[in-house]
């Protein structure tokens, strides 16, 4: 049984290193973040749709595997010319509430990529502007079960109510996923509801700068300098703990080391200076060469031996 479901929308997504690893498994040549545009698509959910059909959660789980690597086209027109994007990752997402079938709400999200090319520039702008958003999937399933009698073939009418129970058919045991398409009219009721792109970002600076090569380069420089700064502070803390242990043998160095983690550079330097001053008092430096006045007659002959 072939099925085409038209659920939801396209949502902006920030590319990460993990994304690029998955994308390059599908690409013939290694791509960089600057060469790709990525976005997240609500492929299908487990709610009863306008065709009085639904996927169960097991079907969504199976589809999550089947849709990896599948092409995005237009209006289910199976033509190579229409191939625009490709799914490189999927995940099953939970939502609040329950479906008409009594299951917790969930949906299948797909992450797609396309090349940043002159050909795709208009489409990318339409996606960003919310013009191209609704999508439909094409797949095949083994079973379609009636909610009234539990049979795959019966006389019950979809959308009708029998003794207070709604008739719909549950699509089960997917066997293949063909493609997903941009469409004008979706079948599922959540179609067209697009979330703000920022909700798809991971909140990190790298995520926010994912589409800015210059910004990413500056961030890498800052991260390197920050690493050097952390190493410098770690060396200051280690030296302060060493000095404090020499200055006061009764000091619990484990506790003191924890205290130093809360100190900044000026505080670490000042405490280190104080510890060195105390050590100079406890262990005054002894010169290698002493004046003759400070020597006993027995030491006089060896006074200048080093």
CB-count exposure of residue 163 (10 Å: 0-12, 13-18, 19+) = exposed
User: 178: number of CA atoms within 13 Å, CB side?
Assistant: 19
Q: What is the pLDDT of residue 212?
A: 59
Q: What is the pLDDT of residue 103?
A: 87
3-state secondary structure of 111: strand
Per-residue pLDDT tens digits of the chain, which is 306 residues long: 555 555 555 555 567 888 889 999 998 889 988 899 888 888 889 898 888 888 999 999 999 999 999 988 886 767 677 778 889 999 988 888 888 888 888 999 889 998 898 888 888 888 887 787 888 888 888 889 999 999 988 999 989 999 989 999 999 898 888 888 888 765 544 432 223 333 334 456 665 555 556 677 788 888 888 889 989 999 999 999 999 888 888 888 888 898 999 999 999 999 999 989 888 888 877 666 555 555 555 555 555 555
Domain boundaries, the chain: 2-210, 216-284
Nearest alpha carbon to residue 60 among 95, 12, 96, 15: 95
Q: What is the pLDDT of residue 234?
A: 92
- Global pTM reads 0.56
Name the DSSP class of 27.
Answer: S
Q: What is the pLDDT of residue 300?
A: 55
Q: Which residues of 97-134 are buried (b: 16+ CB within 10 A; e: fewer)?
A: eebeeeeebbbbbbbbbbeeeeeeeebbeebeeeebbb
Q: What is the pLDDT of residue 82?
A: 73
- For residues 184 and 78, the answer to whether their CB atoms sit within 8 Å is no
Q: How far is CA 244 from the centre of its chain?
A: 43
Tokens 């520039």 locate to 121
User: Rounded to an integer, what distance in angstroms lies between the CA atom of residue 295 and that of residue 304?
Assistant: 11
Q: What is the pLDDT of residue 202?
A: 46
User: 304: number of CA atoms within 13 Å, CB side?
Assistant: 2
Nearest alpha carbon to residue 9 among 113, 131, 92: 131
């Amino acid at each position: 049984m072939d099925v085409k479901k038209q659920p939801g929308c396209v949502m902006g997504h920030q590319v990460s290193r993990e994304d690029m690893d998955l994308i390059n498994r599908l690409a013939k040549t290694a791509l960089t973040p600057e060469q790709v545009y990525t976005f997240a698509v609500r492929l299908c959910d487990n709610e009863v749709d306008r065709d009085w059909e639904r996927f169960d959660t097991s079907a969504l789980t199976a589809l999550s595997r089947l849709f990896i690597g599948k092409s995005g086209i237009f209006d289910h027109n199976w033509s190579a010319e229409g191939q625009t994007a490709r799914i490189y990752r999927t995940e099953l997402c939970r939502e609040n509430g329950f479906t008409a079938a009594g299951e917790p709400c969930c949906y299948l999200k797909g992450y797609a990529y396309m090349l940043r090319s002159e050909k795709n520039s208009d489409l990318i702008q339409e996606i960003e502007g919310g013009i191209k958003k609704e999508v439909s999937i094409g797949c095949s399933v083994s079973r379609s079960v009636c909610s009234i009698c539990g049979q795959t073939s019966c006389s019950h009418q979809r959308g009708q109510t029998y003794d207070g129970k709604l008739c719909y058919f549950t699509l089960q045991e997917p066997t293949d996923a063909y493609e997903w398409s941009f469409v004008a009219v979706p079948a599922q009721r959540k179609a067209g509801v697009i979330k703000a792109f920022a909700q798809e970002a991971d909140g990190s600076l790298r995520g926010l700068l994912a589409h800015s090569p210059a910004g990413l380069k500056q961030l890498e420089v800052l991260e390197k300098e920050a690493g050097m700064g952390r190493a410098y502070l770690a060396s200051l803390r280690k030296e302060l703990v060493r000095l404090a242990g020499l200055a006061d043998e009764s000091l619990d160095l484990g506790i003191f080391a924890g205290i130093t983690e809360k100190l900044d550079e000026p505080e670490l330097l000042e405490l280190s200076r104080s510890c060195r001053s105390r050590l100079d008092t406890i262990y005054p430096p002894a010169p290698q060469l002493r004046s003759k006045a400070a020597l006993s007659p027995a030491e006089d002959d060896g006074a200048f031996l080093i």
